[in-house]
Structure 1
Amino acid sequence: MAMTNDELVERLRTARRIVGFSGAGISTESGIPDFRSPGGVWTKYDPREFTFDRYVASADVRAKSWAMREAIFGQNVAPNAAHRAFAALEGDGRGAGVITQNIDGLHQDAGSRNVIEIHGTMRDVECIGHEPAFGTPDGCGFRKETEWAFDLIDNGDADPRCPTCGGIIKSATISFGQMMPTDAVDAAVELVESADLVIAVGSSLQVFPAADIPLMGKQAGAELVIVNDEPTPLDRAADQVVRGRAAEVLGPAVERALAS
């Protein structure tokens, strides 16, 4: 059942250790297309092509993947009020950090320092080795900013290789069929279990294991607030559900809570 923003403001006002959990909905308000909505990324690209194993096996798939990444990366986007709200909470000492499913780096751009990117980041590329198997990267450790790969591609290298070992270069994001990084997931669970308030914003809470993380905070004793346009599977477990867009709900609520 949806509650009023006044109740959200009061929760923010009284909480002492707030952890954010954000999904694609927080960044669509900054102009980044999501993967499922009409006009989203997967209306232009077939997600079945971009599994980890297909990426490893096919230079053509890698070329299409770089084209998709460059189209997304080339957009001029900036953090919105929801990103800034989490940064403001952290700056005030109440925000313990943000766990995000997003790969765009907008939380950091907004000023958040403790950001756990459980699906990786599109701002870096990394070596995944020559023939990584079972969805597990097996690279030499080479990592560079994404612009490095785009420069090579723009200069005619359709399939950039690791300058250290010759392995395959891939965006430092988690692809379909790729194993989740255990260190990031472990850090996210530790953070959310330390919270007294978890705010899940702009996530369908349907992609697992990520969607389990806010519930772990609730099970460890935190209150759970869900801010989302559409119903989610965790709504019944939440202490408060607010229907609406992330920036329009969270921005004003945090501003009011910090002003009081």
Structure 2
Amino acid sequence: MRIVVLTGAGISAESGIRTFRAADGLWEDHRIEDVATPEGFAADPALVHAFYDERRRVARAAEPNAAHLALAALEARHPGGVVVVTQNIDALHERAGSSRVVHIHGELDLARCEVCDERTRWAGDLAGEPSCPACGARALRPDVVWFGEPVYRLDEIVDAVSRCEEFCVVGTSGAVTPAASLVTLAAEAGARTTLLNLDAHEDTSSFDEVVLGRATETVPAWAARF
């Protein structure tokens, strides 16, 4: 059994991590242009570092929920057969026990040097512009994908989706790029496609099955089938 699960902000929201797009989302406190673009970082790195340092603290204080745990248990039942592609930048999937996790938008727990491009596991804050452990430059940034930047590991994701038998989208509409193209790719490859989301805001006709509800309820029930 080859299964690919694409997860979005909705799965982490139930662990207390605020979402980008919800009515109470963190974008209300900051303009997207100020904290999630290369231009914003160039204009005010201190603001951007403070923003992501706080996101990092919140993410580390959160705990994996029943949905994260159900996906980890699914992988344990199908060793080598489950890939989790996540739009989230927290580490809740890994902390739940999933080992094959692809972060399409990067990770809060990584810092990337803009001089040497080295990525480093980062436990503390980036405020104060600490030096890169590899080259010494004071040019570290959060290793997250900002608006206008290409997503990570897309070729690897496309390969996994094109060969899967089950494709499930959790906690996101699946209607925006690149998620929408992945649903289409999975369907064209003959996979069964499922959407597990709190609401159905957009056209869901590309999915074979749509189940609305909290991820902590819908994901364990879906995963238990396999």
The alignment's TM-score, normalised by the length of structure 2, stands at 0.90
Alignment of 1:35-114 (within 5 A): 35-58=20-43, 60=44, 62-75=45-58, 76-93=61-78, 95-114=81-100
Q: Relative to total residues, which structure has the larger helix share, 1 or 2?
A: 1
Q: Which deviations, in whole Å up to 9, do the C-alpha atoms of 1:108-136 show, x marking residues without a partner?
A: 1111111111111111101123xxxxxxx
Q: Which deviations, in whole Å up to 9, do the C-alpha atoms of 1:161-189 show, x marking residues without a partner?
A: 435152621111101111223xx111111
Structure 2 unmatched runs, 5+: none
DSSP 3-state at the match of 1:20: strand
Alignment of 1:1-260 (within 5 A): 16-58=1-43, 60=44, 62-75=45-58, 76-93=61-78, 95-129=81-115, 140-148=116-124, 150=125, 153=127, 157=128, 159-163=129-133, 164=135, 166=137, 168-181=139-152, 184-233=153-202, 235-255=204-224, 257=225
Whether the 8 Å CA contact 2:131–2:139 is kept in 1: the answer is: yes
Counterpart of 1:133 in structure 2 is none
Shift of 1:99: 0.8
Whether the 8 Å CA contact 1:101–1:210 is kept in 2: the answer is: no
Q: Distance in 1 between matches of 2:203 and 2:69?
A: 25
**How many residue pairs get matched?**
222
Shift of 1:239: 0.6
Whether the 8 Å CA contact 1:22–1:101 is kept in 2: the answer is: yes
Shift of 1:220: 0.9
DSSP 3-state at the match of 1:235: coil
Mark the CA change 1:227 to 1:207 in structure 2 (over 3 Å): closer, same or farther.
same
Q: Which deviations, in whole Å up to 9, do the C-alpha atoms of 1:135-167 show, x marking residues without a partner?
A: xxxxx132222324x1x63xxx2x334351526
Relative contact order: is structure 1 or structure 2 higher (C-alpha 8 Å, sep ≥ 6)? 1
Q: Distance in 2 between matches of 1:174 and 1:89?
A: 28
Shift of 1:232: 4.8
Whether the 8 Å CA contact 2:183–2:207 is kept in 1: the answer is: no
Mark the CA change 1:51 to 1:142 in structure 2 (over 3 Å): closer, same or farther.
same
Question: Max radius of gyration: which structure?
Answer: 1
Whether the 8 Å CA contact 2:41–2:48 is kept in 1: the answer is: no
DSSP 3-state at the match of 2:12: helix
Letter in 1 for 2:121: E
Structure 1 unmatched runs, 5+: 1-15, 130-139
Q: Which shifted more, 190-199 or 94-103? A: 94-103
Q: Which shifted more, 92-101 or 114-123? A: 92-101
Q: Which deviations, in whole Å up to 9, do the C-alpha atoms of 1:179-235 show, x marking residues without a partner?
A: 223xx1111111111111111110122431233212211111101000111215451
The alignment's TM-score, normalised by the length of structure 1, stands at 0.79
Q: Distance in 2 between matches of 1:114 and 1:234?
A: 29
Letter in 2 for 1:162: C
Percent of aligned positions that are identical: 34
Counterpart of 1:137 in structure 2 is none
